[in-house]
Amino acid sequence: MKIEIYKRGQGRYTRISTFVGVMIVVVIGAVVLSGKLRAYFATTSPYVWYGVPTAVVLALGGLMFWLVNRVRAADFLIATEGEMKKVSWSSRKEIIGSTKVILVTTFIMAGFLFCVDILLVVLFDWLGVMRTGQSGQ
């Protein structure tokens, strides 16, 4: 069986990052699986505790390599990388400015809603709809 990479030079970074991201999740799952196997099968051999998770990582690694190189998946990842190159990313200065505007707006809205809430509590207490115990009964 010959291992061949579909459209080798295209979508390289997207394919690699997809493969690495999924394999990080798989390795974390294998570590958890190893701990569970050790807890449930404490009397068995360490080959079970470490062999089964290693086999899972190798099998899923091969599956991911195959999936990333399938024609439809590879074309999708190639197109994704092409679109990401077209994106006009904001500068650091623009992001910091936008973040400041959002934070200030959030705090102003929070203050406004706090004042409206206090006014409604006072109004409802005065009308007798809601008794908070603040006014003399």
Same domain, 19 and 78: yes
Count of positions (residues) in the chain: 137
User: Domain count of the chain?
Assistant: 2
Chain CA centroid to CA 18, Å? 13
Site of tokens 């992001």: 95
Same domain, 104 and 55: no
> Is residue 114 one of the residues assigned to a domain?
yes
Same domain, 117 and 62: no
> Is residue 77 one of the residues assigned to a domain?
yes
pLDDT tens, residue by residue, 11-25: 777 888 888 999 999
| Structural domain boundaries enclosing 62 | 12-86
Chain CA centroid to CA 30, Å? 19
Same domain, 18 and 75: yes
**pTM (global) more than 0.85:** no
pLDDT tens, residue by residue, 37-52: 888 877 777 888 888 8
